[in-house]
Structure 1
Amino acid sequence: MSEQHITRLHINDKEYILVGTAHVSKHSADEVKEIIEKERPDTVCVELDDQRYQSIREGNRWKDTDIFQIIKDKKATLLLMNLAISSFQRRMAKQFGISPGQEMIQGIDSAEQIGADLVLADRNIQITFSRIWGNLGWKGKAMLLTQVVAGIFSRETISEEELEKMKSQDMIDSMLQEFTTHFPRLKTPLIDERDQYLAQKIKEAPGNKVVAVLGAAHVPGITKQIHHSHDLERLSELPPKSKLPKIIGWSIPIFILAIIAYTFFANPTAGIQQTISWILWNGSFSAIGTALAFGHPLAVLTAFLAAPLTSLNPLLAAGWFAGFVQAYMRRPSVKDFDTLSEDVFSLKGFWNNKVTRVLLVVVLANVGSSIGTFIGGADVIRLFIQNL
């Protein structure tokens, strides 16, 4: 077999064989099978955490999903982001007739077949997402969301030959350099920290010969980092939550209520105008967001009624109430969860699947409410100044 995508390291009487793969390449899966059967290592490490390993092993995991619990746990946006991020990879995998992550599945199966130990070497995906989001500024978050949304609707195709070219280390290095330029804060938790985490887990793997199945982007970094020691606990820490959003979240409603209360005291007619303006701006934009998600009419009405109140309480969100009503009136079926991974391929699928419809209702109702809060708040201040 070709050694082009294989890196061999010898450290302290142990041999490490790093296999760089493309996550949607059938050739990569075949390469993984061949190298493991040929080398017969003591341990096989795969670039998976326990959560993703369980997802691979439990093909019907969506059937057990409780959409109400997702909304209640404030995970609707996170789930929608996860689905969107995976849509492009899944689309390419479908193009080549394989499952995304097939090379990882092959690594697991081959390890079992030769009786090798299996090590799940990657960091927990939720920790990685939290550290990514915590490291991005407002500009970075906006750029990332734009790229994610664009990825949903992209019809880009790529040849198997191009995939193999992407696995060369020179190409990977140049891609990472461009990635760093556009998202400098994103590269650290997504690539650099995981290189360190993966390197430490691979180094600690039992046995004298270890095969590691890795995305090609990680091979150059791991090759460097495996010669150093890394603190896995530090790399697994969740970023501290900033108090600023909470302070702002409570300051705005207190400020708005104080202005309306003072205006009512000084000029009741103007106070009534402020109240009506606040209700209409908040309710209307949240309702529009829900309508754009093709929410049920009762969900649209719920968003309109809830937004003016939830905007004054940072612990609540209009999208949660609209989402609950949408899920109740258009409860997702087992079929919707079964076809979820296919439906995220297209705009039509996103809107037609009842699961993503609920998630879109939650997200767009909240976005609309946020816009309405700023416009409604500005109008409340305008009326206050006019009546001084």
Structure 2
Amino acid sequence: QNGVMSGLMQMLLLKVSAHITEQLGMAPGGEFREAFKEASKVPFCKFHLGDRPIPVTFKRAIAALSFWQKVKLAWGLCFLSDPISKDDVEKCKQKDLLEQMMAEMIGEFPDLHRTIVSERDIYLTYMLKQAAKQIELPRASENEPRKYIPAVVVGVVGMGHVPGIEKNWNSDLKIQEIMSVPPPSASSKIFKFVLKATVFGLLGYGCYRIGHRTVQFVLSMPATQSYLQRLTEVPQ
């Protein structure tokens, strides 16, 4: 169920992305594409995608929402048509407004904020800390002491993740828990069973009605009636 809902949510988010692209004349995520281009120009530069895999994030987000929250979120994404200007984007860069938007999201969808923002803050922080570890220099022999040099890391993240990264930087982070997808709840299993039973029931009833009408139509044809009449005639 989470897989289907995750797929539907991705389709809705693609619709939102298309809406933003149409309004602004540019696709979201341009800063990440530019970062990749610039990194490719630096000799010996390694480029890492440090965000949590999208399927994991979507499945955890969907699993965290109740049925009505899913309906409410899908409805809002389906009918998103508010105009967006470049000035609006610039306003979102202001820290106070950004914090206000985050607070509104927490108030309306607290579990969605936790899975899409807070958990990814932890994951991004963990990946940045892994990348920032000191680099061991090669040794000429086993007896030579180990030498390290600091790593030079440039992290490109969304503005909404900066406060969370700063908050989690000095923490001992474990990402195993936020990488797992929780199993569907009992209510979700019941809903899935009822939905399947309803769909198959409607399909079966539809096939029955179509078959019944088809048989009636065929039997009402003159050629069919003539053929049946010949079959029922008893030879003298």
Same fold (TM over 0.5): yes
Asked if 2 retains the 8 angstrom alpha-carbon contact of 1:90 and 1:100, the reply is: no
Deviates more, 1:193-202 or 1:232-241: 232-241
Asked if 2 retains the 8 angstrom alpha-carbon contact of 1:169 and 1:220, the reply is: no
Among 121, 127, 144, the alignment partner of 2:56 is 127
CA distance in 1, matches of 2:205, 2:46: 52
Listed as ranges, the matches of 1:32-43 within 5 Å are none
Superposed displacement of residue 252, structure 1: 9.8
Q: Does 2:65 match 1:139?
A: no
Query: Which of the pair is proportionally richer in strand?
Result: 1
Gaps of 5+ in 1: 1-72, 255-277, 287-301, 307-388
Counterpart of 1:225 in structure 2: which amino acid? Answer: N
Match of 1:235 in 2: 178
Superposed displacement of residue 89, structure 1: 2.6
Counterpart of 1:125 in structure 2: which amino acid? Answer: I
Superposed displacement of residue 98, structure 1: 2.5
Q: Does 2:91 match 1:162?
A: no
Listed as ranges, the matches of 1:312-331 within 5 Å are none
Counterpart of 2:183 in structure 1: which amino acid? Answer: P
Q: Does 2:233 match 1:305?
A: no
Residues 86 and 247 from structure 1, CA distance in 2 versus in 1: closer, same or farther, beyond 3 angstroms? closer
Structure number with bigger Rg: 2
Listed as ranges, the matches of 1:187-198 within 5 Å are 187-198=113-124
CA distance in 1, matches of 2:9, 2:109: 17
CA distance in 2, matches of 1:247, 1:160: 46
Corresponding residue pairs, total:
190
Match of 2:103 in 1: 177
Listed as ranges, the matches of 1:51-200 within 5 Å are 78-115=6-43, 116-151=45-80, 154=81, 156-200=82-126
Superposed displacement of residue 105, structure 1: 0.9
Counterpart of 1:134 in structure 2: which amino acid? Answer: A
Among 147, 160, 168, the alignment partner of 1:217 is 160
Could you list the per-position Cα deviations for residues 72-118 of structure 1 after superposition, in whole angstroms to 9, with x for gaps in the alignment?
x9966543431221222332223333233221111111111113221
CA distance in 1, matches of 2:192, 2:33: 44
CA distance in 2, matches of 1:200, 1:253: 41
TM-score, normalising length from structure 1?
A: 0.44
CA distance in 1, matches of 2:195, 2:3: 24
Residues 88 and 229 from structure 1, CA distance in 2 versus in 1: closer, same or farther, beyond 3 angstroms? same
CA distance in 2, matches of 1:241, 1:172: 33
Asked if 1 retains the 8 angstrom alpha-carbon contact of 2:50 and 2:124, the reply is: yes
Residues 181 and 111 from structure 1, CA distance in 2 versus in 1: closer, same or farther, beyond 3 angstroms? same
Asked if 2 retains the 8 angstrom alpha-carbon contact of 1:85 and 1:148, the reply is: yes
Cα RMSD for the two superposed structures: 3.2
- Could you list the runs of 4 or more consecutive aligned residues of structure 1 that deviate by over 4 angstroms after TM superposition? 73-77, 247-254
Gaps of 5+ in 2: 133-149, 209-236
Residues 107 and 251 from structure 1, CA distance in 2 versus in 1: closer, same or farther, beyond 3 angstroms? closer
CA distance in 2, matches of 1:249, 1:189: 23
Counterpart of 1:113 in structure 2: which amino acid? Answer: K
Asked if 1 retains the 8 angstrom alpha-carbon contact of 2:2 and 2:63, the reply is: no
CA distance in 2, matches of 1:101, 1:198: 16
Superposed displacement of residue 242, structure 1: 2.2
Asked if 2 retains the 8 angstrom alpha-carbon contact of 1:166 and 1:172, the reply is: yes
Asked if 1 retains the 8 angstrom alpha-carbon contact of 2:121 and 2:165, the reply is: yes
Match of 1:293 in 2: none
CA distance in 1, matches of 2:21, 2:196: 47
